[in-house]
Amino acid sequence: MASTKSKTSGSKKFSDNSGVNKKVWFYSLLLTIQYGAQPLISKRCIGREVIVTSSVLACEIVKVICALALMAKDGSLNKALKEWTLIGSLSASGLPAAIYALQNSLLQISYRNLDSLTFSMLNQTKLIFTALFTYIILRQKQSIQQVGALFILILAAVLLSIGEGSRKDYGSDNPDKIVLYGIVPVLIASVLSGLASALCQWASQVKKHSSYLMTVEMSIVGSLCLLASTSKSPDGQAMRQHGFFYGWTPLTAIPVVINAVGGILVGLVTSYAGGGFVIVSALLVTALLQFVFDGKPPSLFCLLALPLVMTSISIYQKYPYRVKKKEA
């Protein structure tokens, strides 16, 4: 009788684990495609005349709708509304929201001035700054292997910056423009992403905010920051002169929605497993799609940097810091 009960319990546990594994693989597959295709889709569907602030604001609105729908589905929306306070929201989400709003604007500028694979690899330097800021804010240490992985990532970023800064096949003969409007924005965005990520971890640990609630709060606060900036910014002037949807086509909505859904998928994947496999796979997807649709093979510098980035991310995810018994 006892053995039958244990077998039933074991088979139920196996069934539950199997269901979770299927979810992990499904979400990971979707996120891999989204990560890999996003730079290429954004470059093809968002014209240079589209106002950057309008596309970022539209993305934040879609994120809010998706997050609220998911909260309503899992039954946490009513509880969140009852317990929500303005001060608690601003203290947890205010600063990271403003940072992410600026980061998203910089990424939109960088998308337009770098090829998809280079952008995707440089964007991974956010790991370096996430590690730095989580140590400063949360005292979260890195293992020796992780530190080594970060140095490999720095080497890859240097290779890409030197190589891409000297290329002349982006439709511009001025390499300075590639550096100024392509490489510099994505690197600054990586710094901001690292800082915002550390602040979000602090909020989830100290303030006990759920990832969906954080998404809603940060999207709303970030949107308000962007709207406030339009009173003085060139984007604000362009929107007042030409309208919010100036330069938009039906295709422009595709990367906006995909980017917003990708933000939700990140939370789902990381709640079940690490994202290292997804990022490595996405880089390969980006390289393949760039070759298929643009007919552009990776440059020598990209070919040298790609295995470095993939190795770095794999090592970083595989060897996390483990607290020693004396420290515990």
Answer whether residue 23 shows pLDDT above 80: no
pLDDT over 50 at 183, yes or no: yes
Please provide the DSSP assignment of 313-325 as one string.
HHHHHHS-----T
Q: How confident is the model at residue 14 (pLDDT cuts 50, 70, 90)?
A: very low
Which residue's structure tokens are 């069934």? Answer: 15
State yes or no: pLDDT of 218 exceeds 90.
Answer: no
CB atoms within 10 A of CB 22: 10
The proportion of the chain whose per-residue pLDDT surpasses 70, expressed as a percent, equals 82
Note the helical H segments in the chain.
2-45, 52-74, 77-83, 86-89, 95-111, 116-123, 126-138, 144-165, 175-178, 184-202, 211-229, 234-242, 253-272, 276-294, 300-318
pLDDT digits (tens, 9 = 90+) for 253-305: 999 999 888 877 776 665 554 455 567 677 778 888 888 887 777 778 888 88
Domain for residue 9, yes or no? no
What's the pLDDT at 180? 86
Residue 32 lies in a domain: no
- State yes or no: pLDDT of 157 exceeds 70: yes
Residue 5, in any domain of the structure: no
**Structural domain boundaries, residue 235:** 47-319
Mean pLDDT of the chain: 80
What's the rounded mean pLDDT across residues 155-178? 69
- Percent of the chain exceeding pLDDT 90 equals 15
Q: What is the pLDDT of residue 207?
A: 65
Q: Is residue 243 part of a domain?
A: yes
Per-residue pLDDT, 324: 67
pLDDT of residue 162: 76
Task: Give the pLDDT confidence of 75-99 residue by residue, as tens digits.
Answer: 888 888 887 888 877 777 888 888 8
Q: Of the spans 49-63, 170-184, 202-216, which averages the highest pLDDT?
A: 49-63
CA dist 249 → 141, 235, 246, 253, 278 (Å): 47, 18, 9, 8, 30
- In whole angstroms, how far apart are CA 100 and each of 184, 189, 214, 216? 17, 9, 12, 13
User: Which of these ranges, 2-6, 126-130, 193-197, 277-281, has the smallest mean pLDDT?
Assistant: 2-6
In a domain, 15, yes or no: no
pLDDT at 267: 62
Domain contains 171: yes
What span, in angstroms and rounded, lies between the C-alpha atoms of 264 and 30?
Answer: 11
pLDDT tens digits, residue range 101-121?
888 889 888 888 888 888 888
Structure tokens at 186: 């994505």
pLDDT for 254 equals: 93
pLDDT in tens, 58-79: 998 998 998 898 888 888 888 8
11 in a structural domain? no
Sign of CA dihedral 267, 269, 274, 279: negative
Q: Which pLDDT score is estimated for 189?
A: 93
Q: Is 161 exposed, middle or buried (0-12, 13-18, 19+ CB in 10 A)?
A: buried
| Rounded Cα–Cα distance for residues 269 and 273 (Å) | 6
Residue 19 located in a structural domain: no
Q: How far is CA 42 from the centre of its chain?
A: 14
State the pLDDT confidence band at 30, using cuts at 50, 70 and 90: confident
Domains in the chain: how many in total? 1
Four-residue CA torsion sign, 71, 72, 76, 80: positive
